[in-house]
Amino acid sequence: MSNAAEISAAAVRAAAANRRGIARSRAARIGTERIIRGTLLACALMSIVTTFTILVILLAQSVSFFAMPQVSIWEFFTGTTWAPLLGEEKHFGIWPLIAGTLLVTSIAAAFALPVGLIVAVYLSEYAPSRVRSILKPILEVLAGIPTVVYGFFALAVITPFLHDHISESFGTFNALGAGLAVGIMILPIVASLSEDALRAVPRSLRDAAFAMGGTRFDVSAKVVVPAALSGIVASWLLAITRAIGETMIVALAAGGLARMTLNPADEVQTMTAYMVQIFTGDAPAYGIEYKSSFAVATVLFVITLALTMAGNLFLRAFREEYE
Amino acid sequence: MTTPANASPPLNVDIKPPTLAVAVSAASVGSENQPEEIAIRAHGLNSWYGTVQALKGISLEIPKCRVTALIGPSGCGKSTFLRCMNRMNDPIPGARASGTLTLHGDDLLARTLDVVELRRRVGMVFQKPNPFTKSIYDNVAFGPRLHRSFRRTDLDELVENSLRAAALWDEVKDRLKSSALGLSGGQQQRLCIARAIAVGPEVLLMDEPCSALDPRSTASIEQLIRELETNYTIVIVTHNMQQAARVSDRTAFFFEGTLVECGSTDRIFTNPTNKQTEDYVSGRFG
């Protein structure tokens, strides 16, 4: 009874205290809301405007490149000789640059996608929480290393190792050394994002599989990984996009010789490395080489855009709703 | 052995709980007088999570091919007891158990016990329906494929009969290849039961199998439990007193880690010997 009286008295005091507060005016409320809304919209528009500006400049310069008399669109998209700087006759066939990019990216992906997934499965399904609390930060540090460091790591460590222990044919600049360094760079992206996807799989699914007599590997490989597949593939696509766009490592370690080759011991030039070469070298501004790099950039942009869109489509098509 | 004799009566959700309750009390009165084969025997079973003791000297016998309900307020140890029977507490850090717990004489607490084999014999159905993100067929075939390799026709037969035993076949036979997540909550839970049955267990553990379901689905699961009893020893944890009364032959009342009272469901609900039990089953606390 005294309890009920106490509760009732407290409720009365709470209501009284509430009335002592000063009321906010309706006009002030609406005005503040308007200012905040405007600020947020301006920030959102800024990123859109920036993106479109970049796109317009890329396209405008590309168009003026293709308008030059020495350039043929047909040759650009089908040619297999990229020789913009040397010799009497300049050649602008982009395929050697695409081939170099794909070679380095394939090497990086062949290393980082499976290894990254294995690391993610280990962290999410096998590692005791203590081991995980040590490994996960290390992985995140790996993601924070500037790529120029990976570049000279490839030159100073990976390539000499390949030369001494694999084959004498590995020169100072080669696709494999650069590709492996890019692979190490994207490994944390795959591992970290895939691990997030794996951990998002509800524990109830693991319980169900364990309760039917599944081993830890059964549960990981047959339940958790399939359930997290969309997230894993998204992490793969993001990592591949990063590998294609990676510049510093390949500019340092892959070399500057554009050629059609599948030999990982060869020196290759990627699309990004070509742009670095043009903008850091002594190619005259607004000359044909200068403009060619915008055309290359546009191609690179289209490729990465396509990959990003494919990733989003995949995510949407295969996203699993657990509830 | 996975197919009960009365395999697939068309599911009749119109059966009202009272009808069932009458059937239950008739069954339990009958079973009270004759000696039953005991499937699971616990004696002085203790269980700890770290320094917290969750079970204190539980001694309980669970008869074969009967439904045993474990009731009690949250945190009383009934789920812990359930999870001791298929060693699902093993991965929890700091979880340990002492005393004896046997399934047809096999020591379930032994360090050397093959947990994979145990879980083949003791299936489990969880609180929330948790079908895999796979097709209906692959959900049911998942367990069998873990343990044996099958010819396609044998697997088809196993899947069909498991679904029939869970009273789900007629509803899903035309869409076995579609995702299990497209089923309703009650269908998903029956799929989980079919999935557990497909492994060929002797015992089915059910941890509040209806708590996430609407009354209609609950009725269909309860009816299914009564039908599965012919072939399986069933242990069900429930917070719903009426459910315990409707589906079980025997009821065990847990409170703060101890077993307060255990007996035929009929007697526990009509004539409990313990004051705490009486208060709990009559809804005065808990």
- Segment B18-49, tens digit of pLDDT: 444 444 444 444 444 556 789 999 999 999 99
Q: Which chain B residues are closer than 8 Å to A132 by Cβ?
A: none
CB contact under 8 A, A322 and B133: yes
Residue of B85, B113, B146, B206 to mutate, interface with A, max A Cβ within 10 Å: B146
Q: Which chain A residues are closer than 8 Å to B195 by Cβ?
A: 208, 212
d(CA B51, CA B57): 16
What is the arithmetic mean of pLDDT over A198-222?
93
CB contact under 8 A, B119 and A218: no
What is the arithmetic mean of pLDDT over B93-105?
91
Percent of chain B with pLDDT over 90: 67
Q: What is the pLDDT of residues A230-252, one digit of tens each?
A: 889 989 999 999 999 999 999 98
CB contact under 8 A, A205 and B133: yes
* CA distances for B118 relative to A3, A214, B98, B144, B200, angstroms: 53, 11, 18, 14, 11
**Contact status of B88 with chain A (Cβ, < 8 Å):** yes
The owner of tokens 């007599």 is: A213
Residue in B254, B211, B268, B207 with CA at minimum distance from that of residue B77: B254
**Least Cα separation, residue A169 to chain B (angstroms):** 48
3-state DSSP: chain A helix, strand, coil percent, rounded to 5?
A: 75, 0, 25
By CB atoms closer than 10 A (0-12, 13-18, 19+), residue A273 is: buried
Q: What is the pLDDT of residue B217?
A: 87
Residue B8 has pLDDT above 50, yes or no: no
**Contact status of B128 with chain A (Cβ, < 8 Å):** yes
Q: What is the pLDDT of residue B2?
A: 42
Q: What is the pLDDT of residues A90-143, one digit of tens each?
A: 888 899 999 999 999 999 999 999 999 999 999 999 999 899 999 999 988 888
Tokens of B100: 């004896």
Tell me which residues of chain B, numbers 223 to 282, contact chain A at a CB-CB cutoff of 8 Å. none
CATH architecture, range A82-318:
Orthogonal Bundle (1.10)
Q: What is the pLDDT of residue A170?
A: 87
**Least Cα separation, residue B30 to chain A (angstroms):** 33
* CA distances for A63 relative to A57, A80, A170, A172, angstroms: 10, 21, 39, 37
The complex's ipTM? 0.82
Mean pLDDT of chain B: 86
CB contact under 8 A, A218 and B132: no
CB contact under 8 A, A320 and B181: yes
Domain boundaries, chain B: 17-281
| Burial per residue of B143-168, b for 16 or more beta-carbon CB atoms within 10 angstroms, e otherwise | bbbbbeeeeeeebeebbbbbbbbbbb
Q: What is the pLDDT of residue A212?
A: 93
Q: Which chain B residues are closer than 8 Å to A208 by Cβ?
A: 124, 126, 130-132, 192, 195
Least confident segment among A281-295, B47-61, B225-239: A281-295
Q: Which residues contact B15 (CB under 8 A, 6 or more apart)?
A: B219, B223
> Among 2.40.50.100, 1.10.10.10, 3.40.50.300, 2.60.40.1220, what is the CATH number of B17-281?
3.40.50.300
Q: What is the pLDDT of residue A87?
A: 65
Percent of chain A with pLDDT over 90: 63
pTM of this prediction? 0.81
**Least Cα separation, residue A124 to chain B (angstroms):** 14
**Least Cα separation, residue A201 to chain B (angstroms):** 10
By CB atoms closer than 10 A (0-12, 13-18, 19+), residue B244 is: buried
Chain A residue whose CA is closest to B117: A213
Could you tell me how far CA A22 lies from the centroid of its own chain? 51
Q: Which chain A residues are closer than 8 Å to B130 by Cβ?
A: 202, 204-205, 207-208
Q: What is the pLDDT of residue A322?
A: 55
Q: Which residues on chain A place their C-beta less than 8 Å from a C-beta of chain B? A: 202, 204-205, 207-215, 218, 222-223, 226-227, 320-322
Q: What is the pLDDT of residue B27?
A: 43
**A251 or A317, which is more confident:** A251
**Contact status of B124 with chain A (Cβ, < 8 Å):** yes
Tokens of B93: 């850090």
Residue of B88, B142, B192 lying closest to A210 (CB–CB): B88
Q: Which chain B residues are closer than 8 Å to A211 by Cβ?
A: 86, 88, 119, 123-124, 126, 196
Q: What is the interface size between A and B, counted as CB pairs within 8 Å?
A: 67
Mean pLDDT of chain A: 90
What is the amino acid identity at position B208? Answer: E
Domain boundaries, chain A: 2-67, 82-318
Least confident segment among A7-16, A282-291, B199-208, B242-251: A282-291
Q: What is the pLDDT of residue A287?
A: 82
CB contact under 8 A, A211 and B91: no
Q: Sign of dihedral through CA atoms B186, B192, B198, B200?
A: negative
CB contact under 8 A, A212 and B196: yes
